[in-house]
Chains A and B, each alone.
Chain A
Amino acid sequence: MKLASNPFSKYFQLIRLFWSTAISAELEYRMNFIFSALTSLGGLAGSLFGLFLFYGQGYHFQGWSWEEALIVVGIFTFLKGFSTAFLAANLNRIVKHVERGTLDFVLLKPISSQFWLSFHSMSLWGLPDILFGLFIVLYAGIKLKLSWTSYLSGLIPILFGATILYSLWFILGATSVWFTRIYNITEVLKGLMDAGRFPMVAYPVSYQVFFTFIVPVAFLTTVPAEALLGRANPSWIIGSGCLAIALLWFSNQFWRFALRFYTSASS
């Protein structure tokens, strides 16, 4: 197949090729897909139950009604699906490439290695979570009578959130050049991400500081939810955008830096 000469359409063409291969490989395991849909449904029911334990007893997070808190859960579920679909499949593979020395073959290809490693695969297993997440947001949005412009204004910070998540994940993945076997460093990230189930005001101040400035979970779910509800302070959204761009830039620089230490073991 001939690739387009324009770099953008070239990369776009490549993504289409990568993903259609990945999807046809996954369609071999159709039963698994049903299982993952069931698992997502169970996870969602559990998240709602967890939230209900607070609201069922007349307590509510300061300034968040039940429907508003549901939007946070919806965005959380959506991002979980996003990371299963696009991040987990690719970035856990960096570790394998480094361990086996097959990263050489990636580096030899005439495209950006970060692009290749980040987009090579996608997993349909994340799809149920993405759909359920959107469904919850939509359900709560209808209950709250949100207009279509609110959804649009929520979209931008969600994109920033996804970029932040990707960059963090890629940076962690890149550290495998030094530490090799760190399959579970992403588990730590996933564990911390669970804090995104609840709006930030639900936490004590020390937790809020930690989840805003050290591990920026606040920008993943709370800020987009507030934007969607039309009450986000513009400075938070700008901050979110700056953080997303800075982290993306840093992930690229860090990757280049890490590659200088890559010694191509065992190949």
Chain B
Amino acid sequence: MKRLYKIFQTLLSTYYAYMLEYRAELLLWALSGCLPIILMGVWTQAAQGGAFALTSAQFARYFLAIFLCRQLTVVWVIWEFEREIVEGKLAFRLLQPLDPVWHHVWSHIGERFARLPFIAVIIGLFILLYPSAFWIPDAGTLALFILVSICAFALQFLIQYTFAMFAFWTEKASAIQELWFLFHLFLSGSIAPLEVFPPGVRQVVEFLPFPYILHFPASILTGLPVDYLRSFLIMGSWAGIFYAINRYLWRKGLKQFSGMGA
């Protein structure tokens, strides 16, 4: 246990330092996630003219929260893993007495810390421009939001890492991810809160993993009504399912892996 703790600490500080080198790139990545801000414009405008489930100010907060959640749950492990397989670099990682997934996990977490200041600046700038969107959630809400965001990141990572396993068999596993991302984009609540979906669609979507990555934490932060028990149950079940598939494919894939190109 102590050994693992030490390893993790080292990995985190290494990857954090590594990510700090790419500050300019991080800023651009943070900016490229501006879709929620654009949609905020359309929805706040629409809420002034039509009868929607949320008010204009609620839309503004919701999309600001979505912006934050998107930044916190960005995952790119499949592209890294795919490259490791294609170039045979996984072979070296396998020699280490540590599951290779931890390298990816800690590089994501390290990047998240390096990205935080940029997120804070963008949000601060935004609140200056749009003071009506500003609100201070209480400490309990904030704590719950952080907890759920960590779970959301874990689920997102687990899903993508499971798709990454297909890289053992095909050269373009990331194509699966791109298709999945579309569903994620439209069903996770990043184009509109689930509250404005047609009721039938919403009921189906709530059983899928998508809304728990963005809509669930964003709703907590903005104070929209949330069914905690059900949400955690569904989120946990999906995590369990993907974990099982992931470990199964990992064992199968390793037998298949030939370390080509290394």
Partner of B196, one of A53, A62, A181: A53
Determine if B91 is an interface residue (Cβ-Cβ < 8 Å). no
Q: Chain B at the A interface: mostly helix, strand, loop or mixed? A: helix
Structural contact, A192 and B42, CB atoms closer than 8 A:
no
- A58 near B50: Cβ-Cβ < 8 Å: yes
Which of B29, B46, B129 is the one whose CB lies under 8 Å from A184? B29
Is A57 within 8 A of B51, CB to CB?
A: yes
Q: Check B41–A184 contact: CB distance below 8 A.
A: no
A57 touches B196 (CB 8 A): yes
B183 touches A42 (CB 8 A): yes
Residues in A neighbouring B38, C-beta threshold 8 A: 192, 194-195, 207
* A239 at the B interface (CB under 8 A): no
Stretch at the interface among B147-155, B171-179, B235-243: B171-179
Taken residue by residue from 210 to 233, chain A's Cβ proximity to chain B (1 for < 8 Å, 0 otherwise) reads as: 000000000000000000000000
Residues of B within 8 A of A (CB): 22, 24-25, 28-29, 31-35, 38, 41-42, 44-46, 49-52, 129, 172, 175, 178-179, 182-183, 185-186, 191-192, 196-198
In the complex, whether A245 has a CB less than 8 A from a CB of chain B is no
Instruction: State in angstroms the CA–CA spacing of A37 and B151 once bound together.
Output: 33
Does A46 lie within 8 Å of B182, measured CB to CB? yes
Given contacts A53-B196, A203-B42, contact A59 B52 (CB under 8 A): yes
Interface size on A, residues (CB 8 A): 39
Smallest distance from the beta carbon of A216 to chain B beta carbons, Å?
15
Task: Give the docked Cα–Cα distance between A50 and B98 (Å).
Answer: 44
Return the chain B residue nearest A179 by Cβ: B24
CB pair A191 B32 closer than 8 Å: yes
Is B185 in contact with A46, judged by CB distance below 8 angstroms? yes
Return chain B residues, CB-CB under 8 Å to A42: 179, 182-183
Q: Decide: B196 and A46 in contact? CB cutoff 8 A.
A: no
With both chains docked as a complex, state the minimum distance between the C-beta of A97 and any C-beta of chain B, in angstroms.
18
